Amino acid sequence: MTTETVEVSETFTSIQGESTYAGLPCFFIRLAGCNLSCSYCDTPQARVPGKPVQWTQLVRECIESDTAIAEITGGEPLLQPLFPDLASSLRERTRRPVLVETNGSRDISIIPDRVTAIMDIKTPGSGMSQAMDMANIERLRPHDEVKFVLLDRADYEWARQITRTQRLWDLCRAVLFSPAHGRLDPATLAGWIVDDRLPVRLNLQLHKILGVR
């Protein structure tokens, strides 16, 4: 990998499946490499090295895709030194919303100001909660979003405590509670949220419901 490239697992165009931007056509840049090993990982292929691609080429591909939004995902995008350059250029050149999905283990302050972080807070069920940089909660900006992927009731109660204690709804645009696909019934999670009157958004993986990538 040269000083002008990032390691890419794949690029593709699809429907944005998660976050408050769900349902919009989106150009995805999936960067390769991850520092975590979550129990529910659904993209293990992105954990291994990818192919080096000029980051300027990725910007051109995004412009040509003519989608409503763009997302940099992984793997863990923040591991790559040229991530800030790629994210900034995508936002400036495309003039469309740019999202970055990050696992929350790396300092999110490197994410450019006009780029939206979709930051995971890893639950005990993920097996990776100890890897979280909890100082990232203080680094959240009003346009960022926080996501908890939940495997069971214990994960829900853990996430509920953090959400209430930190008043996450005051720190960012949305707090997303996501049932781990095939592990937690979405209707059950919805019931818990309603019973607790928790000001969070039920976040389903729309792309999996539709059967698209």
Q: Is residue 2 predicted with pLDDT exceeding 60? A: no
CATH classification number, 5-210, choose in 2.60.40.10, 3.40.50.300, 1.20.1600.10, 3.20.20.70: 3.20.20.70
How far apart CA 60 and CA 65 sit, in angstroms, is: 9
Residue 212: what pLDDT?
A: 79
Phi-psi sector, 170: left (phi>0), alpha (psi -120 to 50), beta? alpha
For 114-163, how does the pLDDT look when each residue is reduced to its tens digit (9 = 90+)?
Answer: 999 999 999 999 999 999 999 999 999 999 999 999 999 999 999 999 99
Contact 60, 30 (CB under 8 A): no
Pairing of strands 25-31, 69-73: parallel
Q: Is residue 1 predicted with pLDDT exceeding 60? A: no
Please classify residue 185 by burial: count the beta carbons closer than 10 Å to its beta carbon, then call 0-12 exposed, 13-18 middle and 19+ buried: exposed
For 11-34, how does the pLDDT look when each residue is reduced to its tens digit (9 = 90+)?
Answer: 999 999 999 999 999 999 999 999
How far apart CA 80 and CA 149 sit, in angstroms, is: 24
Task: Reduce the secondary structure of 85-110 to three states and give it as a string.
Answer: HHHHHHHHHHCCCEEEEECCCCCHHH
How far apart CA 195 and CA 148 sit, in angstroms, is: 18
Global confidence as pTM:
0.95
Pairing of strands 5-15, 116-120: unpaired
Beta strands (DSSP E) in the chain are 5-15, 25-31, 51-54, 69-73, 98-102, 116-120, 145-150, 174-179, 201-202
Contact 30, 86 (CB under 8 A): no
Domain limits of the chain? 5-210
| Confidence class for position 102, pLDDT limits 50, 70, 90 | very high
How far apart CA 28 and CA 212 sit, in angstroms, is: 13
Mean pLDDT along residues 43-54: 92
